[in-house]
Amino acid sequence: MADKNQKIIDQAIDQEYKYGFTTDIEQTKFEPGLDESVIKKLSALKKEPKWLLDWRLKAFKRWKKMKEPTWAQIKYDPIDYQALSYYAAPKKKVNESLDDVDPEILETYNKLGISLNEQKRLEGVAVDAVFDSVSIATTFKDELSKHGVIFCSFSEAVINHPDLIKKYLGTVIPASDNYFAALNSAVFSDGSFVYIPKGVKCPLELSTYFRINASNTGQFERTLIVADEGSYVSYLEGCTAPMRDENQLHAACVELVAHKDATIKYSTIQNWYSGDKEGKGGIYNFVTKRGRCEGDNSKISWTQVETGSAVTWKYPSVIMQGDNSVGEFYSVAVTKNKQQADTGTKMIHIGKNTKSTIITKGISAGEGQNTYRGGVKILKDAENAQNFSQCDSILIGDKCGAHTFPYIDVKNPTAKMEHEATTSSIGEDQLFYCNQRGIKLDDAVSMIVNGFCKEVFEELPMEFAVEAKQLIEVTLENSVG
């Protein structure tokens, strides 16, 4: 059977990327290139206050002195930052009403299964749609504002809620945090802003849907979520892009702040274009995501399903500052063809009785390379901190790879640490068992992989768990024979 499997793996994974279309619209786009004048132009276009422009320029100065990191287990062609355009937006003016949105764009979201028409939306989910560099529309705003919840594009928040932005921007990810975060701080164009007031349980799931459409542009969105004391919010982001021969850069920042007794649950289904079988094209996904459990008893939980992108570099992390605060990271990362993922988390325990959980599932098929990189740091004053880590990898075929780099740094002797790791192949005996019960090979593979990912999928909101399962099925179709 091994030979037969290999032959079919060699024929590769023919499943077409179903979100690979482009939308033909008139757009405003900056000429390629990056210097201070570009940042000034961008900031002026967005009518930003001076402090924000200064913040951007300071970040840019730092970035110019920094070097692209090379420690990750990924290989890619050098990125020419001067060849990229740093702003692209649909030409038609975007107003409050959906009627003013270019029908081509609405059609694009319909094709992606995202209806911006509130009547047709999934019940209980509010959406912010970001198209290239700008936010197109945010649904259910009125419903949310009744509860005092702010959910709008980042640009709007800068204008309408400048105090909140000024208070929190860059407080979790400093502008100079790392190379890609610095770049994002200098040139970020749009994204989502969420504020949940004290004691409010956000009545809807919040969701942002990112779409890259324009060619030769970078996408640099920035998301900021603040959950005030005793509040709760569940937030989901989805991402897709057209199939293009050239690589495109996506460098986002997500900052989360959870005050006393607040909970933020952040889920991602990342399905950027991953490039073709030969590894041509696809998104370079360099993302900095970090949350701070500022108050006591607060909780931040990251769940990610990463199936797209040519290269993924991403470590959603939690700083547990408040006593009894909780950080969680649940991840499924799939690499096939020539995809490379170097992803994981950092859990930083500062407060007493802080507790973190890391559960990751890496799936490698074709020539995919999948790396888990995770750090757990227990600081001196973090009495009775606990961490549980479980990192499992599954290999499909014999040309792919799985790598695990756990870093542990404990400065308080009362800490309790547990780490488990496994690597396995989808067993021929498992496939034989399923086949013997009349279950086809493809169905058997997706059943086994879905079972493998179950602990993570259970963390996703219902509707999205179904989507994630289907995504895995489509992604792994024909990966064994």
Q: Give the interface with other proteins as residue ranges (CB under 8 A).
A: 1, 4, 427-430, 432-441, 443, 447-448, 450-455
Closest CB to other proteins among residues 20, 451: 451
The residues that bridge with 249 in the sheet, in sequence order, are: 284
Dihedral (CA of 93, 94, 98, 103) sign: positive
Q: Which two tokens stand for residue 44?
A: 């002026």
CA angle at residue 35 from 32 to 36, to 5 degrees?
A: 135
Measured CA to CA, the distance from residue 392 to residue 360 in angstroms comes to 6
If the CB atoms of residues 400 and 453 are measured against other proteins, the closer one turns out to be 453
Q: What is the DSSP letter of 190?
A: B
Q: How far is the CB of 397 from other proteins (least distance, A)?
A: 16
Q: What DSSP assignment string belongs to 386-442?
A: EEEEEEEEEEESSS-EEEEEEEEEE--TT-EEEEEEEEEEPPHHHHHHHHHTT--HH
Smaller CB separation from other proteins, 350 or 394: 394
Q: How far is the CB of 440 from other proteins (least distance, A)?
A: 6
Tell me how far, at minimum, the Cβ of 455 lies from other proteins, in Å: 7
Residues ≥6 apart with Cβ < 8 Å to 264: 225, 227, 232, 233, 235, 256, 258, 291, 299, 300, 301
Distance CA 127, CA 135 (A): 11
Give whichever of 215 and 450 is closer to other proteins, judged by the CB atom: 450
| Closest distance to other proteins from the beta carbon of 474 (Å) | 18
Residue nearer to other proteins on the CB measure, 336 or 361: 361
Closer residue to other proteins, CB minimum distance, 361 or 377: 361
Find the shortest distance in angstroms from Cβ 458 to other proteins. 10
Instruction: Read off the DSSP letter of residue 339.
Output: -
- DSSP per residue over 229-282, as a string? TT-EEEEEEEEE----SSEEEE--EEEEEE-TT-EEEEEEEE------TT--SE
Q: Least separation, in Å, of the C-beta of 462 and other proteins?
A: 17
The token pair that represents 65 in the structure block: 């002195």
Is the Cβ of residue 378 or residue 448 nearer to other proteins in the bound state?
A: 448
Q: Please tell me whether residue 328 adopts helix, strand or coil conformation.
A: strand
Minimum CB separation of residue 473 from other proteins in Å reads 13
Between 78 and 438, name the residue whose CB sits nearer to other proteins.
438
Q: Least CB distance from residue 355 to other proteins, whole Å?
A: 24
Half-sphere exposure of 225 (CA within 13 A, CB side): 30
Which residue has tokens 């489509």?
474
